[in-house]
Structures are given as structure tokens and as C-alpha cells.
Amino acid sequence: LASLLPHSAGASGKQLDGLFLNFVNTFVNLVGNLRPNQQLVIPGGWQTPDNAHVCLYILRNRGTSFSFSVVNTGPAGLEYHPSNFDGTTGRQTKQLVLTIWDVPPDRVTDSTFWVCLFRMQVYPSRRNTAEFLYAKLLTSLNSRPLTANRDAGPAEFYYPPATHAAAKSYHLLALLALTTVPERDAPPAKFSQLLVRCAAVECAYGGIEDARPGSMDPEDTRILRLTARNLANWASTLDPKELLASRQDDGTEMNNMLGAALSYTWELLDRLLAKLSIASAKPLDQHSSQIGTLQLKGMSSAQLNQVEDFSKGRIRNLNVGEDAKRHPFFGRLRRDNYDEVVRALMGDPRPDPILIPAVLTDESMPHIATSYHTAASSLLRICHACSLLLQQRRLVKNAPAFVASAAQYALTVTLPMPHLDPKVCFWRKSPMRRETQTNLLFLIRRMCRIYSAATSSVQQSRGLVGIRTTALACGACVADAIARVRCTDDPSPFSLHYSGANEGPTRPFGFESGGFESLAANLPIYDPRLTALRFQCLDYMRGMTIRDDGTWNPTIFNFDVSLTPHGGDLELMNHLSIELALPRPYPCTERAMATHAARLIGGQNGAVMEILPEFEYFRDIVFHFKHAVSGASSAPETTEDGYVWLPTDATLKWAVKPISDQDKTLQYHVTAFRGHLQEFVDPSAVVKEKGSNPFGAFLSLFSKSRVARSKLSCADPTNIVNSCGAKFIKGKAKPVSIKNEDDILHLTNDELPTFGSVLTPADSERFLQFFTVPYLRIPLILDFFANGDPGRLVALKTKSLQLIVDAALFEPGMWKPSDYFEQVTEIPVVNKEKLQELLSTPLGTLFNEIAKSPDVLVECIVKMLERAIDMDVGRYVSNGSSGPLILYCSRMAVRIEGFLKYALRKCAPTSEEPRPRGLEFMEVHKVEAALKNLRKTLDNRVIPMLEYWIDPARSSSGSSKNNNVDSSNLVHAHLIYLFKNYEYEEFDYRSISVLLTSQVFLSINHRFSSKAYDDLADSSDPSKPPPSIQIAQSEIFDIIQGKRYHILKYMSENPDDADAAMEAVVRVSTGTGTREKRTDGKKELKRRHWKSVDHPTCYGRFVPDTEDIKLRDGSYRLPKPGENFEKWMLRVTTKEVGIEVNVQISEFTLQNHKMMLLDPTIMKHRDFQHTRSTVLAGATDVACAEVVHTTNRYHWRLVGQRYDVMSWAPDKRNYFDIKDALNRDYTRKFPKNLRAGETWIPEVLLEKLPLILPEVTLYMTSGDVSGSPYAHL
């Protein structure tokens, strides 16, 4: 309630008035929902311009009437509280809890009283005084003087705080509000306080119960003895007559309760003091220690003075025949025994690597969990497969990309999303055992680690950032639902407290979405399912943190706000400490409790982690999510290119450290990825805290690195102008702010972005104006390119324009919560923040457009696609206009089709679920017609055209083949993309053969770069199309992962189509034909029957019937005589297979050798450049296969080129590790300072030296070698 009060938000003026009115309405509804015998603690007090006073109110529903209590510890206002005096000491006592009895219900359900009451806190005024509260407001509740309430109910008197500082600590205030029950027959507050104090001492005793004799520090012992004394003093002051005075019954029950409590107190104190007398250490023990002496072991002089001969460049032995003494190097250049010399130099063959198969998609598990068992089993199997792939990253190409997509699929598809209603929620509607709950949370944390490591090792596109935040949000939401389950056998105390299901006065907790709402709003998400999941996660997180009455549940793990525990963290740790009998700090101040909570949550005090491992798993899952939405990089940005992180690297290592030398408050210190600090740094948030305007936030990000700039929307006109304007690219102007059309009209031609002169200044001006109206921008932008000047459409070939249009279409925008009901009441809306809230959508801007006007949307897309296809020149030309334009329009059409299909599936009349928010009024027949029209164009025109582009029969020469490798990779990637939205019912031979051949072709011929190309500010040549395959790596592998289950299922049920598809893979991979036929002029071979190897670990590894029958039926796995485990594993995983298509990891193996790309270090080596530029026509990559690798040489054969490549290791036969920089015996620099008789040496060496040892400086000994038969240099 305190956080809901408007003054907590720092508002003022009209905004404050509106927030205050909303708060009062919400609070009155809360009061109306208060049931009999329920009470509410309310923040209270008053505020003047130069001072403030804090108290608390208690409102209780007594059935037919209400009671209203003021808890005030003074000093202001205590003059209105009844007084008494202590007969023993003569000191004055005060009734610190003043109760107004018999309040009619209509007085508290009317907002008038509450407006007057809360106005004293929200609006500072000199009229806000204790007199106004006590003499005017309180008396109006029951129309009686204050003194008339004194004898109407029980009253308890306390010593008021002695000083102002004591009153300002609010410890007594909070304790009174916690323990006071304004009811005639309720236990007195003093009795409840006894129970609270006993519980605290019980926790302390639990912490030392198992302490060894003499092990406790004397200071700890002193504190505990003082605690016991305070408890005894408090218990001794309880007067049974005073406690029973106000009760209407005979007091027997209360007397029994008090007697039992006091007996328990004395027994507890006896146990505590007895344990302290044994466990406390003697003062002498704190200083008694023995320091051992360190014995240095000496070395003999021979050992100390011994120096290796080789380290000084000396050869230890040159014993040769007597007649060979004058020519010891004779015969070194012989070449008549070349083969023997090469075999001797190449060394022994390297041991064949054992490639353990990884099953990412299992036939025995449903792709969507149907029970807790299938969920846990699927997670375990996917985790195991992902770990295998990452451990074998040098053997499996694109291993991190496969792992990232598999982990993302598990978090977003395999695990069903939770529901707010426990009766409907998959995770809460059925009974669950404690072991299942713990295991599921452990596996989800393991999956988050794997996903974090894998996504840190792949191409860091803006789309991946949005996908990663959504996937981890799904994992956090699922973990939240599991953590709330009350297990049937042994409920976890953490789950009970977290869900609010624990006995006693507890309430549920949740965790906030943090920056998730704002970060992903500016990042393109091309998958409609992930877009919808983002909004589902936001709805779920909000639903778990806000109650039906509008009040908020406390939240935990707010790492993005502060790395110091606060709010819900303190409350939850306090509850768990009490529940688990853990020692708590005393006195229990907020700072002491924060330190206590930091040690428990951070693991420095492992008591909670040991008892409740599920708490640790849940903490790590939420941290992974919170760090992802912070926008900060998990791994260090200085990591070498291509480095692959392992799940162990992503393990979070927790510690707690003081904030600074001055501030000793503990905060979390979390590291991962080689000790990289997991910081939460958001420049835009920092600027916002400083009170800067939105343009300041833009500047704080725009001037940073590409990672920071990725948070900026590419559909923001300010970002577009400052990133793409010619004047700004040259760095000759300061950034400008674009808020409306007038700002655009004032831009000069140099400031207007023309994207490499593909748009005229007039068209650019008009185009930019569309982005100032975000709610209408989608139809305006599509109409701009679909109709009018064809030159506009051609402009879409450029990378910058493609990024901008994609952002306008697929950035989901701001989210509208389900409890937001404000409508537009004025035009224009002056307040920009309010305008942004009003234009937010519950499911994203594109879904909003589909719901409102799908026919206009698709009509423009189809027109753009057809006009682009009409420009086709029969092949892809990278520096032309038609190829990049056609591919971009195809990508955009497929993405729009995906959103249409998702909306249609969710709104279908046969769907059992209600329509999602935002699609309630979608016209299904319009979407069906638009979808059919769009798919018809893609199937009948685009797919045949792309397959025509890559027909190998149209390229006969080797040179042209190499020129077309990059283009073929690009087209194959888009062929995969065109089947992105196919469902199982739509699969046929064409779809599975295209998906299989294209992914295997890409695996062999394309090397995915870790460099991202979606930085709008990277405009070195803005008129060029995107490089590489023009699709983010994550999108391609997400499609492969999403379709694999259905492809394998279709192949199992349609073996004829499966056989034909496998033969197509062989033809395309070996370059002997197309997907449909051979094109190398040879006779078509008989189709073979392909079958997956019959073993659970080999599911998806297809071999033909020409292979050994034992391989296909699984009997090959029987051990052979004399075979050890290593040889057996090598045989069953690698050696037995001759030809194989592995659908799990998109690999084609021929005669035990996988086809791959030549190593990039070889491609860049200067010895290879001549061959690359002539024979390979400057190809970016070339496919190869291993011949034989030995200890000193790698040997590859280039596929289809009739060339072999061998890479030799350095010759180490005469190589010695020299300790000194130079050999001290060789001091004469060659060829300087030569004697007259030594001229024969340069005559022999100088011409050959640059060829033999280029850029090497040689040195000679100082001795004369004029008459020597040879010389050492």
C-alpha cells in the first residue's frame, strides 16, 4: 500500500491528482472486499512542508461493524491517547493503540473519509496536524468523542519511547501493528509479542544446538545471554490480571494459554543457557595457536648448477664414422627416398575421434510435455544431448547453434506455459511429489545454463536478444508455477511461503518482469509463437504480483533494481528463518535483516540452500532471466572469435561483498564465464534516474557500442536519421531529436537519409513521417512500397531499409496489461508517456493490424512480392537489384504468413481455448482468404524460381561452380525459410526433401559468422544488400529444430517419400544432381531403402540398405573378442558407418569421413592464396573431406577439385627451448664483421637465405671459421 501511494512515485500536479484518485478507488474496493474477522494494516501519518510523522492504522471487519485503530509511538499525537501510570515505578504509560469502535460499514466503504485521511500523507500542508486527525476525522467515524471509545473495548498500556530517536526507529510501531487484534476476546498484544520473542530465541537456539564444546566466540555468547535476559525480563512483566481484565469470558482458556507459553519460555531459556555454558569458548582459546616452522630443503650444488646442453644450442653427441668427420651433413638433401622420408616425418596417424551421438529429438517423447514425467524426461534427455554436442564442439559443426535452438525449444515448446488459474495450469492442476518438483527446477536451471552458454557462442543478432529474453522468461514463469505447487507428500517450506499457502499470517510472493517489458519491445521477433509467449509471460508475471483488489504482492529477486536484498527478499527470508529455526539478527533492524538475507540468498550462509535446494535453483533461473532482460552481455566481449562456451562456464558463482569501503551494506557479487561479473548496467535507465529527457536516453545508448545500440528501435525516427543521414555518418553533426513531422520537415538534404541514394529526398521525407505515427505505420509503409513509383520497391534491396521495415513490422511494441482500461479522451494526447500507454497492444502491433485489417496487410505484401518476382533475371546476382529484393520480399511474406497462421489457429472455431487478448474481434474468413492467397504465391512462383537458380546443370565449369557456392548457400537458406510455417498435416515429399537437402548443403558449404549485420549505424555502403545468407543464424536453426520432430515422424509413416528424400540429400551434397534427378550425365541408380539405425542413441541417423544388415538392426553393437570399451565405442559410433545422413545434426558422412569446410586458417594462409584466386576463383569457402591426419600433418581432399591440401606442423627435430633470448656463444651478427677468409659463407647463403629463412637474423660465433669445412649460424 505504501508503494501504491502517489507520493512514492514522485508525481506532482495533475498527474498526482490522477494517481491519488486511482489509489483511493482501488483502496475503497479493497475495503469492500474485507471479510469478517479480517483486518488490514494501513500506512498512516501526516506530512507538513518541513516535517512528517509516521504511524499505522488497523481496519478490522467485526461482522456487523468495523473498528479503526491508530498505532502511534509518538511523540506527536500521543496527547490524544489515554494515559495511565505504573503503580510500581510511578511512570506514565500510554495506550499506544487507540481504537475507534462500532464504526458503521457505510462510513469506511465511502471514499470521503479515506480521501481526507490519505490527503494528509500525499499533499504536504500546515493544516495536516494531529488535531485534525484525532479531533475531526476519527470522531466522525462513529459520531462519538474520543474518550467514549476508551471503555468500549480492551486497552493495553505501554511505556512510550523515551527519545525521539527511539520513536523514529519504528521497531515498536511495527511490532504493535503485527500483534494487535482489536477484538474483545482476542489474545492481548503483549501475549502475542511473547510468542514472537520466543520464536526468535528458538531460532537462535537452533543455530547453536549442534555446536561443539568450546567452539563459540565469546562475543556471540554474550549477545545470546543478553537476548535471554531480555526475554526473561519481558515475560516477567506479563500480569495475568492485566491480560484478563478486558475479556468477557471467565479467562480460563487465556490463563491456560499464558501458563503454557510461560512454561515453554522458561524451558527454552534453560536449554539455551545450558547449551551456552558448554559451547562458549574460553577467552584463552581465542589466542592459543601454534606456528609451525618451515623447513627448506636444500639442493646439491650439482643440481643447482646443472644446465641443459640443448638450452645453449650445443648438440650433445656427433659420433660418426672416422672418414665422415669433415662432412657431417652430407646426404641431407637426398630425394630418391622421398616417400619413406615423408612417411617418417608425418608421424603416426592420429587416433580417430569418438563422436558420441546426440539425440536432440527423441521419438519416444512427445514434443510437448503431457505429464510431469514426460516433462522431466524430455528436459533430461535434451540437457544430455546438448552437453554432448558442446563437449564435442570441435567434431560437430555448428554445435552451439544446434544447442541454442534445442534449449530454446525445450523452454518455449516442450514445457507448457503456466496459467494464472491453478485449476487450468498444467503445473498446478495435478498432484506433484516433492522429488518431482525439485528435479524439474534443477533441470530448468541446467537448461538455462546450457542456453546461456550456447547463445553466448553464436551470432549475436538483435533478434536473438529478443528471443533469448523470451525463452528465459518462459523458463522463469514455468519455474514460478512449479515453485508454487504444494506437494502431496512433503510440501517445501519455500513453496508454501512463496505461494502464500503456509499457515499463519503469510502472503504470496512473486517476481517482477523488470526490463523485459521495455527491452524486447524494441527488438524484432519474427516468430509469432515467441511474440505471443512474450506477452503471455508479461501477463503471467503481472498476474502473480497483483491481486484481484489491485494491491501488490511483495516481490523477490529484484536484481535489476538493486543487488542488495530489499522488500520481499527480507520478508521471505524472515519467514524462512523462522520456519527453519535459523538464527536471525538481533536487534532485527532493516539493515541487519538485509545483511542476513544477503548471506542466505547469496549462499554465504548455506543453511537455506542445504535444506531447500529448490530455492537455489529458482534463484538462479530468475537471475538468468533478469540478467538477459538487462541488456548486458553475460560473457566478456573481448572473447576470441569463434570461442565456444560450455555449460560449466555459465554456472553462476555467488558471493556477497560490501558496496564500498564507506558503505558496508552487503550486495550480491555474481560471476560466470571466466569470472566475468554479471552486472546490470542500463545506460537509458541511468539517464532516466537523472531526470533527463528521452532524447538523453537515446544519446546514452547511441554513443555506445553495437551491443548498447541494439536496444534502440530501428523504427524510431530519431535513430534512423542519426544512423543513416549522410551528414551524421560522416560525423560532422551532432545528433538531432525527431518527435513529429515538423522536425522532419526542418531536416536538410544532407541530414535526410537516402540510403545510398536509393530514395529521393522527397520520398525519404515522406517515408520518415510514417514513423512518427507508430499505430498507423504498418499500412502506411507497406502501401508506400507496394504502390506508386517502382523505384521505391527496388530500394528495399538495401540492408538499412530492410532493417527499418522489419522493425516497423515485427518489433512488438509496448504491452498493454489486462487491467489497463483507459481510453483516449482528448486529441491530441499531449503527455507522451500516456500516449505510448494508450497505443500499446496486448499482443503486439502486427497482431493488432491482423485483427483490425488483415486484407489490406496481405494485399500489399502479395503485390510487393509479385512485382519483385516480375524482375527476376533467372539467377541471383549479388550486385543486382532483383535477387536481394526477391529474397527480402519472400522473407517478409513468410514472416507475415506465420503471424496469420498463428492468429487463425488461436481463433479457429474448433479451438477449445478462448481467443487471446487482442484477437477477440478478428474476422476469421478474411484471414483465411489472405493466408491462402499468400501461400499460393509462395508455392507456385517463389519456390520453383529459387530451385531454378541453383540447378547445377546450368553451371558447367569449375570456376562458375565456385562463384555460385555463396549464392547457393543464400538460396538454400531461403528455401528452408519458405517452409518455416508448414505444419505436419501439410508435409509432403517436396517439403521434407527441401528441408533435408538444404540444411545438409548449408552444413557442408556454409560457415556461419559470429558477426551480426543488423546494426543500423553500420552504413559503410548503405546501397548494398545484407551480407552472407541475409538471415540470422538463430532463425535457421530454430526452423531446423522446430521441424525435426515432424520430419522424422513423416519419414517413419511415409517410407517411400523418406527414401526419395535421402537420395536427394546424397545428390545435392555430392554435387551430382538436384533434388529431383541426377545432372552429371550418369545413369540414375536404383533407389535404396533408408532406415534409422536401430538403437535409441542413434535415432535419426539414416543408413541405406546397402550397409551391413547388422548396422541396421542394431546387432553391430555386440562386443568383439579382445575389444576394450574405447575400441568398441569408436566402432559402434563411427567406424561401422559407411554412408549416413544424420538428421539430428544435419550431417552427411561418406566412407567414414564427414564433408566439411576447409579450415579458415588455411583459407587465409598466404601459401594458399594463389590456388584460391586461380583454381577456386576466389571462393569464400570450399568443401573438403579428411584423407588422413597424423601427428605432424593434416591432409584434406577438396571436393570436386582434384586438389589435396596438406598442412605441416613445425619441424621440431632440431628445436630446443632456449631459456635466454639469444645464445651467448653466438654474438656476431651475420653477414657483418666477417674475416677475409669467411667470404665463402655469404657466397653460399645470401641468395638462398630470403627463400629459406625469410625475415630471420642469423648470428655466428666469434671464432674464425675461415678454414673450417662448415659453419654454424
- Is residue 1102 within 8 Å of 1090, Cβ to Cβ? yes
Looking up cell 553475460, which residue turns up?
A: 634
pLDDT at 1022: 64
Helices (H) and strands (E) in the chain, counts: 51, 19
Strands 666-672 and 653-658: antiparallel
Query: In DSSP terms, which residues pair with 841 in a beta bridge?
Result: 815
Cell numbers that stand for 838 in this block? 494508450
DSSP output for 500-518: T-SSSS----B---TTHHH
Q: What is the mean pLDDT of each run of 10 residues along the chain (1273 residues)?
A: 71 78 89 91 91 92 92 90 84 90 91 91 90 91 87 84 80 88 83 88 88 80 88 82 63 78 87 85 41 36 40 44 58 65 86 88 86 94 94 90 94 94 92 95 96 91 90 96 94 94 91 85 91 93 87 90 90 93 88 91 92 95 92 83 90 92 88 89 44 53 53 84 81 80 87 86 91 89 88 89 92 87 78 82 91 89 92 85 91 94 89 85 88 92 91 57 74 94 93 94 85 67 77 92 93 93 89 82 80 87 81 79 90 80 87 78 90 84 86 87 88 58 78 89 87 85 88 88
DSSP 8-state secondary structure symbol assigned to residue 1211? P
Looking up cell 569446410, which residue turns up?
A: 1157
Q: What is the Cα–Cα distance from 92 to 85, expressed in whole angstroms? A: 4
Q: What is the Cα–Cα distance from 463 to 534, expressed in whole angstroms? A: 13
Upper half-sphere CA count for residue 552 (Cβ side, 13 Å): 16
- Is residue 1152 within 8 Å of 1137, Cβ to Cβ? yes
Q: Which residues contact 63 (CB under 8 A, 6 or more apart)?
A: 36, 37
pTM above 0.75, yes or no: no
Report residue 805: phi and psi, to 5°.
-65, -40
pLDDT at 370: 92
Nearest to 197 by CA among 261, 133, 123, 280: 261
Q: What is the Cα–Cα distance from 1235 to 1261, expressed in whole angstroms? A: 12
Cell numbers that stand for 107 in this block? 462510513
Q: What is the Cα–Cα distance from 686 to 1038, expressed in whole angstroms? A: 35
Cell numbers that stand for 1078 in this block? 541426377
pLDDT at 1252: 80
Nearest to 1160 by CA among 1012, 963, 1006: 1006
Q: CA 156 from chain center: how many Å?
A: 54
- Is residue 483 within 8 Å of 498, Cβ to Cβ? yes
pLDDT at 379: 95
Q: Which residues contact 1062 (CB under 8 A, 6 or more apart)?
A: 996, 1088, 1090, 1102, 1104, 1141
Cα dihedral across residues 941, 944, 950, 955: positive or negative: negative
Q: Could you tell me where the DSSP H helices lie in 703-787?
A: 706-709, 717-724, 726-729, 741-745, 761-769, 777-786
